[in-house]
């Protein structure tokens, strides 16, 4: 039986485990905000006194729409970060596969050369990846530093700001790292990296390195340096990762079966394997969030229905007078629909403005639960259309659930009778 390598990590180092099982306080805070906004909106709509009926109803429905926008935009933001992370990890090579070694090896022979010589790949390159730590006045966090051949390498990450490292050693950091360290292109950062002190001896050394650029990966720890700069750490000519592209017709499973027979190989997986795993985990939560969306939609319609029912009851003498002058019930219903649609438009505006603000507040409040991921706030046109549907269409048509029946059953003489 061939040797099989595994990687053992502690649960404290597993981001998915921590986010799912240990960051309960962040989840509870989210549901507290959700419940508060919905109850506040319902209470505002319940206090339905005539002089302020329209405003309070719009505030109540607007609060529910804001929650709806926050939920949908939250899903889009999280999925957007996952997709962006997967794209950054592949570096424009969709089929890129990462072969991890159990230690560093010379790039010209040994297990690294065995992988690169395989007929199962169409292209490949040896790479070096080391762990480190950024230290700053405001934050200290881990770093995963990959040494990139920016000129001829297979994997060349895109630089969003600044330029690739050249000349003196420098780092390319993530946007989240730049924010947490409060640095920009050209600023100096302190990073602890392993430096080779002997054939099998290493020590952690703190270095002051300039920021050459900022890449687009949403994960804070991802950091890049130039391959030539590995000499600063005494690691030139060494590699512990091989980036390959499978040959035509070769699957990842085939590569795993072949490369895991090499004793030094610990794992063989797609470059975007983590992103795919997170997408699968997210798919399990989407159903629950869609249930919340349905509840919010129902709540908005119920608030509009309640407001329409109260409006018909309080204005029954006004409607009866209109009927006595020959106004048909269809026209009265249209008037109620216009009023409800107007309230829905105001509520939609409140929800579209308030939803992203709620999401921004929630993300800021839960930053401690997800410190290593930068989640963008994404409000797609689909989210806006969904809010318009709930606020304008659903709320605007809500009077049809009660007004025609009440107007049709109205007793004109008794309604118009003046009570002494």
pLDDT at 224 over 80: yes
Quick one: pLDDT at residue 53? 66
Measured in Å, how far apart are the chain's first and last C-alpha atoms? 100
| pLDDT the model gives residue 1 | 38
Report CA 138 to chain centroid distance, whole Å: 24
pLDDT tens-digit series, residues 275-333: 777 777 777 777 777 787 788 778 877 877 787 777 777 777 777 777 777 778 788 88
Do 252 and 280 fall within a single domain? no
What is the total count of domains within the chain? 2
What mean pLDDT do residues 94-117 have? 88
Residue 147 sits in the same domain as residue 241: yes
Same domain membership, residue 242 and residue 373: no
Same domain flag for 207 and 355: no
**What was the pLDDT predicted at 202?**
80
Residue 6 belongs to a domain: no
334-347: pLDDT as tens digits: 888 888 888 888 88
Which of 420, 349, 416 has the alpha carbon at shortest distance from 387?
349
Predicted local distance difference test score (pLDDT) of residue 49: 40
311, 356: one domain:
yes
Please say if the pLDDT value at position 149 is more than 80.
yes
Pair 74, 101 in one domain: no
Q: What is the residue range of 312's domain? A: 11-86+276-416
Are residues 372 and 15 in contact, defined by beta-carbon separation less than 8 angstroms? yes
pLDDT of residue 168: 87
Regarding whether 110 and 201 lie in a shared domain, the answer is yes
Residue 3 lies in a domain: no
pLDDT score recorded for residue 296:
77
* Residues 165 and 209 sit within 8 Å (Cβ to Cβ): no
DSSP, collapsed to helix, strand or coil, labels residue 63 as helix
- What is the phi/psi pair of residue 109, to 5°? -155, -175
The verdict on 208 and 304 lying in the same domain is no
Final residue belonging to a domain, choices 270, 289, 323: 270
Among 270, 297, 320, identify where a domain stops. Answer: 270
Does residue 191 form part of some domain?
yes
pLDDT over threshold 60, residue 63: yes
Residue 2 lies in a domain: no
237 and 301 together in one domain: no
CA 320 centroid distance within chain: 54
- Choose one of 270, 295, 327: the last residue of a domain: 270
The 10s digit of each residue's pLDDT in 155-178 is 888 888 998 888 889 999 999 899
Q: Are 35 and 29 in contact (CB under 8 A)?
A: no
Q: Is 138 helix (H, G, I), strand (E, B) or coil?
A: coil
- pLDDT value at 37 more than 70: no
How far apart are alpha carbons 177 and 190 in whole angstroms?
12
Residue with tokens 């999925």: 79
CA nearest neighbour of 147 among 124, 169, 180, 122: 169
- Residue 91: φ, ψ to 5°: 60, 35
Written as six digits, the tokens of 295 are 């509840």
Q: Which of 354, 274, 273, 407 is nearest to 58 (CA)?
A: 354
* Cβ-contact 214, 173 below 8 angstroms: yes
The pLDDT value recorded for residue 210 is 93
223 and 314 within one domain = no
Judge whether 107 and 239 are in contact, CB under 8 Å. yes
Q: Are residues 15 and 143 in the same domain?
A: no
Contact, 220 vs 141, CB < 8 A? yes
Say yes or no: 319 and 251 in one domain: no
Average pLDDT, the chain: 79
In this prediction, residue 146 has a pLDDT band, given cuts at 50, 70 and 90, of very high
Rg (CA), the chain: 30
Burial of 189 (0-12, 13-18, 19+ CB in 10 A): buried
**Cα dihedral 237, 3, 118, 124 sign:** negative
């Amino acid at each position: 039986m061939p040797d099989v390598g595994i990687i053992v990590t502690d649960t404290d180092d597993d981001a998915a485990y921590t986010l799912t099982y240990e960051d309960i306080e962040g989840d509870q805070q989210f549901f507290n905000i959700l419940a508060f906004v919905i109850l506040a909106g319902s209470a505002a709509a319940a206090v339905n006194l005539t002089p302020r009926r329209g405003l309070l109803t719009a505030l109540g429905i607007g609060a529910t729409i804001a929650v709806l926008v926050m939920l949908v935009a939250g899903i889009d933001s999280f999925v957007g970060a996952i997709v962006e992370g997967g794209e950054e990890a592949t570096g424009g090579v969709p089929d890129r596969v990462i072969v991890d070694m159990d230690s560093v090896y010379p790039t010209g022979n040994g297990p690294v050369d065995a992988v690169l010589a395989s007929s199962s790949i169409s292209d490949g390159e040896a790479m070096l990846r080391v762990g480190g730590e950024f230290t700053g006045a405001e934050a200290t966090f881990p770093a995963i530093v990959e040494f990139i051949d920016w000129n001829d390498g297979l994997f060349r990450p895109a630089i969003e700001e600044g330029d690739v490292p050249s000349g003196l050693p420098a780092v390319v950091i993530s946007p989240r790292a730049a924010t947490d360290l409060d640095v920009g292109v050209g600023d100096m950062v302190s990073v602890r990296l392993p430096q080779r002190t002997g054939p099998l001896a290493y020590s952690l050394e703190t270095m002051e390195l300039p920021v050459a650029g900022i890449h687009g990966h949403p994960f804070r720890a991802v950091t890049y340096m130039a391959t030539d700069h590995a000499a600063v750490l005494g690691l030139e000519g060494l590699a512990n990762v091989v980036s390959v592209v499978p040959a035509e017709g070769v699957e990842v499973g085939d590569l795993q079966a072949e490369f895991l027979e090499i004793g030094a190989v610990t794992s063989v997986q797609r470059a975007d394997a983590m992103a795919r795993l997170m997408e699968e985990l997210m798919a399990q939560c989407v159903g629950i969030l869609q249930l919340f969306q349905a509840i919010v939609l129902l709540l908005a319609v119920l608030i509009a229905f309640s407001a329409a029912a109260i409006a018909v009851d309080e204005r029954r003498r006004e409607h009866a007078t209109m009927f006595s002058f020959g106004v048909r019930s269809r026209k009265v219903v249209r008037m109620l629909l216009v009023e409800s649609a107007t309230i829905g438009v105001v509520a939609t505006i409140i929800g579209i403005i308030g939803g992203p603000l709620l999401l921004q507040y929630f993300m800021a409040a839960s930053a401690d639960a997800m410190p290593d991921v930068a989640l963008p706030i994404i409000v797609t046109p689909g989210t806006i259309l969904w809010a318009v549907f709930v606020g304008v269409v659903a709320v605007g048509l809500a009077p049809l659930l009660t007004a025609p029946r009440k107007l049709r059953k109205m007793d004109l003489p008794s309604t118009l009778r003046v009570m002494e």
